[in-house]
Amino acid sequence: MNEVSDPELLTFSAQVLEKNGALVEQRSDHLLALLPLPLAHLLELPEEVKLGGDELPLLYGSPVLDRLIHLATREVPIVYGQVEVPYLKKAGFEQLIGQHLSFLDGQVHIVSRAEARTSYMVLVCHYVALSDERKEGLVQLGVHEASGAPIPDLKERLSEFRLQFFGPGKVPPHFPVHLEQVFSHALSNARAGIETELSDFLSSMRRRLRRDVRNTREYYEALKTEMEDSLENPNLTDGQRRERGAKIQELPRELTRKIADLEHKYQVQVTITGCGAIRFLVSVVHIMIEIKYRKFQRTAQVTWNPITKRLDPLVCERCQGTIRSAYPREKNSQILLLCPSCSAKS
């Protein structure tokens, strides 16, 4: 093997190229590839190319490998499976309405129940917190794909069940196709978990900021006292006294600028990206309920989840926030189920 190629990187590069439509012939120390025109433009390569030689080495840090890594990681890797559920609850859902979900100001009764299959996702998120220091890590969040509602403890409870994975080309057509809104809600809800993970880091940044602000104030107070005392020096000329007086007057503004610089220094910026997901089908119980509010009524569906053994939370029909206490409100002769904040605004 020559010094401009690596066996593992050759195999990785060949797999990435083939997945994106290229024809690849792997030799012992290089690749011969025929690239589709869009892929060639994306990688900034000719359509017929030799990778791994002196001109286009496949080593860590080489521009071609960096572009291949970006191509391989620009989409969230996803695996598909289904959960084998030993039993589904048959009755007793009336008691759960009120324990797991509540509908304030409205009357609710169950119309029907039906066994069905729905899909959930465990999304793995990577976060980077940047301030005077750097901290990064991973959080995992369970989500009901149909509603986008986060499901607490889904990942932890999932380990109690047998998960069967689908191979390439064998994924059933039961999974939702458009997940942009689900991903958006999941990343937003992941912030709560990330704030918990970063609590010590954030506390440390706040302590250091308070310490540096206190030290800075003490420094400028001492400097002001020293400069004011120096005005009593009989050897100072009138011009020197005016110049020193102007500097003393400028000290509060200079202190404000210094504190602003410290606040910027210790400000924490957090970036969150999805880096992997497990999507899986689960047999659940769909419960159709009827809601009466004033002279209006409507139906809604709630889901009993056999993994958490709870009713899944609902989603506010205005702000899309997660709710377990829903407030029925009337709009245009229809009932909306809202969170407390949106209910108050309406």
Domain ranges of the chain: 7-73, 79-195+272-345, 200-267
Question: What's the one-letter identity of residue 27?
Answer: R
Neighbouring residues of 311: CB distance < 8 A, sequence distance ≥ 6: 96, 97, 100, 101, 287, 302, 303, 304, 305
pLDDT tens per residue, range 38-49:
999 999 999 999
For the cut 60, the answer to whether the pLDDT of residue 330 exceeds it is yes
Amino acid at 177: V
Taking alpha carbons only, the member of 99, 188, 98 closest to residue 148 is: 188
| Average pLDDT of the chain to the nearest whole number | 90
Q: How many CA atoms lie within 13 A of 28 on its CB side?
A: 2
Of 111 and 73, the one with more pLDDT: 111
Distance between CA atoms of residues 101 and 118, nearest Å: 19
> Mean pLDDT lowest for which of 123-132, 181-190, 317-326?
181-190
What is the average pLDDT across 96-104?
89
Q: What is the dihedral of CA 27, 30, 33, 35, to 10 degrees?
A: 150
Q: In this predicted structure, what is the pLDDT of residue 1? A: 46
In one letter, which amino acid is 174?
A: H
Biggest CA-to-CA distance, the chain: 97
Question: Measured between alpha carbons, how far is 107 from 328 in angstroms, rounded to an integer?
Answer: 10
Going by pLDDT thresholds of 50, 70 and 90, the confidence category of residue 173 is: confident
Residue with the bigger pLDDT between 3 and 284: it is: 284
Answer whether residue 181 shows pLDDT above 90.
no
pLDDT given for residue 4 in this prediction: 60
Residue of 128, 83, 139, 98 whose CA lies nearest to 282? 83
Alpha helices in 231-339 (DSSP H): 238-265
Name the residue with tokens 């509603």: 147
**Average of per-residue pLDDT across 185-199:** 84
Average pLDDT for 298-314:
94
Q: What is the pLDDT of residues 3-38, one digit of tens each?
A: 566 788 899 999 999 989 999 998 888 899 999 999
Query: How much is the pLDDT for 161?
Result: 93
Mean pLDDT of 301-310: 95
pLDDT of 346 above 80: no
pTM: 0.72
Residue 47 is predicted with a pLDDT of 93
Residue 300, CA distances (Å) to 61, 291, 312, 335 in order: 55, 8, 13, 10
